Structure 1
């Protein structure tokens, strides 16, 4: 049954289409399809999805027109680019499909084949039925659909890291294979999977600009392969393919299994084709590949609490010129060792890491001990390139620090051993640093600014959003939040911090995921991370505490496989403490993917994981209340609120039990919505009933009637109650009033929650439209708050509200939740929850005074097209300029405070009523200007 809101919307769209049809006499289509993607990626290589999904957006052919839309589409897919240019879709011709859908349309042609390239384009019909031109041609290639198609073997050096022997001693190995081709290849895709990092070379040339591939993965279960196009580098005659492996995650304790060494290993395979499409050679990794140590070695043991992640040491005396070239003689290298790990090979369906922003030093200080302190000007996680001079044979040390008063933080350091020339350049290969300051020791010649560079390294997803407003502090917070997020998203998941732990916490994901989705194109990124969560389900989380005998075992193992729906607190990394709001990301993140992208497959693929998680929680429910479970670190509530102790612990308190029960109710209600969307009505009814009974039990036990408050009456308890919506409907306004008083009066406008509670608080206030309360907290320059960080010289967002709290990091995922508010609150570009994916959305000008914000502008490249919003206040005058992309519509909420007349320039906006001090208008595609 359609809701009344849906019927009104459909009637509006029908009216708009009829109006535009009757008024137009043009025969040229009003729209053109652009920005083609497959599985959220642009021209992806090596996909192993048999029915990939295709998407596009539309651009208007005339910017001044209104109501442009799509009424039909036609997709053509071919294995021949030339045939596709002739409009022949010999693999799939969808024919004209009467539909306005343009996102995530499933391929439905001839079954795809492994290791093939496919070309595609799309045309649409506009609101008048006029056909557009076809889009530019896009493409994707397939990986290997069956494990049986892999004839290559896993290879290694025969070495293995032994933690009982102290720090890692293995050098990152080289591998190479020489072969002869009788003709110049036409096509060759090399599929490479590795445990640990890798680089690929063909005839001495590095293939692709990937950094630290592959994406981080649970290597107890799978290895992700990357497709490299190598045909351009291959020649008729002798060739060589070389791999350089990096230790990295290969020695990470939770990934240790009996069927593989704790050492970098790889598997690679390519079929080489001629112009006729015939395979002229298959190259596979096997015992014929030759191996030798490279000059590079990991410093550290790669893990939190076991020596840290260290850095790299390069010994220039062990360099071998042209090691990856055809004419190099590798006869004295040893043969590779064959291995048989039990791992599923699957394609890496997420953007690779790349070097993104070059960073130049701002100052170099020569200190009294003859060391040099380099200030890079900004805290960042990434690579460095540093040219140095010293005595031949000496070791130059690089110490990295987040803090100006410490030479090194979190044991991050690298080194360079000089050869006889006495000079060289340190450059990262298989690790990354994190910090702002670099202390260099062992030089005989001062370093030069021009010879020092840094780069941010991150997953190379696209930016989606531009935002700016009249308040310089808000701009600073927005930009620092984005910079921090980017520094945390290396390897296809979001880490808590890039220096100390590098774990993918579910609780921290709650604080970052909406900020991510409203500012970046993260469809592939989060799809991959959800697969990581499915992989780790069924494994115990943290074990006891550091004084328990089990702790040591957990540090050198991945924990017991318990089965069922239990979740560790991090994925794909296992380690770390947390609680219900950490494991609960397995419900929240698929739901966000649906809301922001309309991705139903995200709900379907993760449904059994969701059901398993709720079944696990069910086993700890008594009298409709969730009981505490697990060890000391397994039932955390909020984390690192202002004034929390160094560990931020409150997990045994009654308040914490209340907090987690409210979160559990939120999980149940969200899961019920998911179940209804995918037709799992029985599950939906069960979870809805449990949420109802739990809400009643929580409210009856914890509600303080005379105070209109809950539990310990803290900001986090009020937030949790509202987030779970556990109160009777008529009480919600009164509880909201209590939260308002807590923020404005009891906390004098400051925030008083931590990571988990803060994400929940901002979610509640954003949905309630309480931009005034969020602005109050984000505008403070005294402790606690983001402005306090700015006043204390921060260039990234800290782990805790206190700068110097017990070794906490200064680049962290903790408080990134304002990044979503700037887009859907300040600029007013909001979801319409009845229409996922932004086909219909809301523009709502915030009710902020001119002294708070006088203007804001944003451009959000949504999944359905580019949305623009720019509002400005001057005295009592307010103007709003918006752009609604083709095939979309919006509801505009324009404030009317003193019954002033509201005008709109085009005449195409339809007034539909008023609500909460706003006049509401429906608008179709086009550019609009509202003013009073």
Structure 2
């Protein structure tokens, strides 16, 4: 149902719509002319083109958006965008053109997550309404004409094939004869409610030279990223350029798709093809796919020469709100790697990796959420992704481990340590922005999820889900019932707090009591001697104790022994990363909170395996999926270290009592020589010289800050620039 927002849904005639079919038709080209003779002040168009679309008006592409719109659960919500077209309109005859790609809506190659048989799947379709000065002038309907073009294949996880010989010159302008093109056909809507996309669009965020390595036709961009190649080529008609993408090379210098092409089961993985039309220099880049890569292998069949290859970095066009520079080069390098990994893994939705999967894994999103909020402004994008997760929730309250999901991920790949993003991400948004929209929107879904966890619990302990994933030694991974119950407790606490914020005292009491019951059961089952936590096997006690402290599950008299155990264990193993992705957040944060920030830093700067800086020595430019660097080298799930830098070195803290960034508590830990951190207009610029801590703090207009110094002194500050100093204890 369109509710008057859009026109009719239309598609190309005779399009294959077989459920589970791997057929890929040529990307359809739609066009329609209209006359408008009156003077005008403003024009706009609202369009939903599924899976992806490109819109043209009078021969020009409208805007610079790519891979638009962002994916949704199409059975529940369908995103449309509204674009200003005033500068594209002209008096008299105007021509509108639309190209459609498959994207997430029509997955047409096989993979292990079963998107090929997603319940929403159908052929590409679109609905459009064009208005001038508030009056509807054009809508999508059966009067539109449809033709074929040069995009002969496109698949999100595979690539795009383009035959330039099939280009149709002038089709987006007037005086083009489309009489041989058939009319579009009316088609059923996707099923979901049309909602306007508010998050920033995907765009080309940067262009980088790809340099020939001199071996195997391979080009090096020097940076792991999400995006595609743009080629400049010259040759005879029919010559073909094949582009393959990967993030690693073989020892001999050839392209290596090791650990990347394992889940896509049909078609060519991360491959684009371009067939030349001949007659001069040709420049091309794909439209309806993207890849994860540092290296590009460009091979030529026929008579043609590649003049230039460039890497086009693609992602959601977030504003940047934070920067941090530290006195330690390793920390700066890790910060840069984290920002690149975050951007590579936000192309419309938060993903695990930009190559192998491109899936919206909930655990990865949860662990990186605050890193995103310190560096960028992703709150609107988080909100729309959470809507996908909530739309996909089962009536029982169960959640999938990926969002979107075509039905995969409910019975493996989820669990409280992943599912908790439904509550933790709204909390992060609230603390960083003061906006409670996500809390209000998904409150009922949160309650259903807590009810589901209660139904799965045995004496308030939950045993399902993934645990401390990607531990360097799987045999030593913390038992899942510890980490899952820790997040179950966190969720009950958060829901009680959300009930307080929304003025629901009965829920506040109910979930507060549930949290206390979980805490009591957790300690009865897992608290060991001397403040350690575990199952009694001795396995995973480092992460288990970190989990208990991080979630504030430890009784007061056991906190100091628990912290001492963490510190002693860290020193004993020389700060080797004896944890997976959950412990990678617990341990550094807990150590810093309890006076051992210098120990936490040693995990980050450890160059031996397993350690974050080990990835630097491997030549990686983004973060890894595991400590060895043998699997994906562009994952964000170990990326909370950037939030750690802002929180404990920059000193920026948010408070539940005063959410948002209009007031911050600033408490830097001077465990390095200096730091300059910027966050939403605040600047924390400090250094240590001869045992003295000196900070210059800038507080933006309309904001306040509480500055807590290392010697315990506290200053309440209005907007302005301040300098304070103290001797270090």
TM-score by length of 1: 0.72
CA distance in 1, matches of 2:353, 2:609: 22
2:3 match: secondary structure: helix
Alignment of 1:267 onto 2:91: no
Are 1:514 and 2:388 an aligned pair? no
Give the distance between the partners of 1:506 and 1:613, measured in 2 at CA: 14
Aligned to 1:172, what secondary structure does the other structure show? coil
CA distance in 1, matches of 2:68, 2:79: 10
State the match for 1:215 in structure 2.
70
Number of the residue aligned with 1:876: 691
Distance of aligned partners of 1:523 and 1:395 in 2 relative to their CA distance in 1, 3 Å threshold: same
Q: Partner residue of 1:570?
A: 402
Would you say 1:836 and 2:659 are equivalent positions? yes
* 1:885 alignment counterpart: 700
Q: How far is the alpha carbon of 1:724 from its aligned partner?
A: 2.8
Deviations 1:506-552 (A, max 9, x none): 111122101011111122122212222221111xxxxxxxxxxxxxx
Q: Match for 1:249 among 96, 104, 113?
A: 104
- The structure-2 alpha-carbon separation of the partners of 1:151 and 1:507, relative to structure 1 and needing over 3 Å to count, comes to closer
**Equivalent residue, structure 1, for 2:110:** none
CA RMSD across the alignment: 2.2
Match of 1:636 in 2: 466
The answer as to whether partners of 1:168 and 1:299 remain within 8 angstroms in 2 is: no
Whole-angstrom CA distance in 2 between matches of 1:391 and 1:202:
31
Larger radius of gyration: 1
What corresponds to 2:626 in structure 1? Answer: 800
Of 164, 182, 195, the residue aligned with 1:346 is 195
Asked if residue 687 in structure 1 is aligned to residue 535 in structure 2, the reply is no
Classify 1:720/1:524 alpha carbon distance in 2 versus 1 (closer, same or farther; 3 Å). same
Q: Which residue of 1 aligns with 2:426?
A: 590
Between the aligned partners of 2:652 and 2:595, the Cα distance in structure 1 is: 12
**1:878 Cα shift?**
2.1
Listed one character per residue, the Cα deviations across residues 90-115 of structure 1 (whole Å, up to 9, x for unaligned) are xxxxxxxxxxxxxxxxxxxxxxxxxx
Output one character per residue of 1:765-799: Cα deviation in whole Å (capped at 9) or x when no partner: 45445422321111111111221000010011111
Question: SS where residue 880 of structure 1 aligns?
Answer: strand
Given candidates 86, 89, 99, the residue that maps to 1:234 is 89
Aligned partner of residue 660 in structure 2, secondary structure: coil
Residue equivalent to 2:293: 435
Unaligned runs of 5+ in 1: 1-145, 303-308, 539-562, 629-634, 897-917
Q: What is the alpha-carbon distance in structure 2 between the residues aligned to residue 261 and residue 687 of structure 1?
A: 39
Structure 1: distance between partners of 2:521 and 2:323: 45
Closer/same/farther in 2, CA of residues 163 and 359 from structure 1, 3 Å limit = farther
In the alignment, which residue of structure 2 is the partner of 1:859? Answer: 678
Answer yes or no: is the 8 Å Cα contact 2:202–2:316 preserved in 1.
Answer: yes
Aligned to 2:265: none
CA distance in 1, matches of 2:618, 2:149: 43
Report the secondary structure of 1:250's partner residue. coil
Note the C-alpha offset of 1:404. 1.6
Aligned-residue offset at 1:604: 1.4
Cα 1:893/1:261, change in 2 over 3 Å: closer
- Asked whether the equivalents of residues 317 and 418 of structure 1 are also in contact (C-alpha less than 8 Å), the reply is yes
Q: Which runs of structure 2 are paired with 1:284-323 in the superposition (5 Å)?
A: 284-300=139-155, 302=156, 309-323=157-171
2: CA distance between counterparts of 1:607 and 1:644?
36
1:894-905 correspondence runs (5 A): 894-896=709-711
The correspondence of residues 114-125 of structure 1 with structure 2, limited to 5 A, is none
Instruction: Spell out, residue by residue over 1:294-343, the C-alpha distance to the aligned partner (whole angstroms, 9 max, x if none).
Output: 2013355x4xxxxxx11111101111111111111111111112112222
Q: CA deviation at 1:207?
A: 0.7
Per-residue deviation at 1:254?
4.2
Match of 2:276 among 393, 415, 418: 418
Match runs of 1:421-570 below 5 Å:
421=279, 424-442=282-300, 444=303, 447-448=306-307, 451-491=308-348, 493-538=349-394, 563-570=395-402
Which residue of structure 2 aligns with residue 927 of structure 1? 721
Instruction: After superposition, give the CA deviation of every residue in 1:370-425 in whole Å (9 maximum; x if it has no partner).
Output: x5111111111113211224553132211111112152523211111122448633
Q: How far does residue 706 in structure 1 lie from its aligned partner after superposition?
A: 4.8
Normalised to the residue count of structure 2, the TM-score between the two structures is 0.91
Q: 2:544 aligns with which of 702, 708, 717?
A: 717
Where does structure 2 lack aligned partners over 5 or more consecutive residues? 108-113, 262-268
Secondary structure of 1:503's aligned partner: coil
388-397 or 407-416, which deviates more: 388-397
TM-fit CA distance, 1:478: 0.5
Alpha-carbon distance in structure 2 between the residues aligned to 1:385 and 1:759: 38
Equivalent residue number for residue 816 of structure 1: 639
CA distance in 1, matches of 2:532, 2:294: 47
Contact 1:395/1:442 (8 A) holds in 2: yes
Q: How far has the Cα of 1:290 moved from its partner?
A: 0.6
CA contact (8 A) 1:510 1:759 kept: no
Q: 1:227 to 1:473 in 2, by over 3 A?
A: same
CA-to-partner distance for each residue in 1:29-79, whole Å, 9 max, x for gaps? xxxxxxxxxxxxxxxxxxxxxxxxxxxxxxxxxxxxxxxxxxxxxxxxxxx
Q: Tell me the equivalent position of 1:28.
A: none
Distance 1:446 1:418 in 2: 11
Report the alpha carbon displacement of residue 256 of structure 1 after superposing the two structures with TM.
5.5
- The whole-number CA distance in structure 2 between the counterparts of 1:245 and 1:347 is 19
Question: How many residues align structurally?
Answer: 697
Pick from 615, 624, 637: which aligns with 1:789? 615
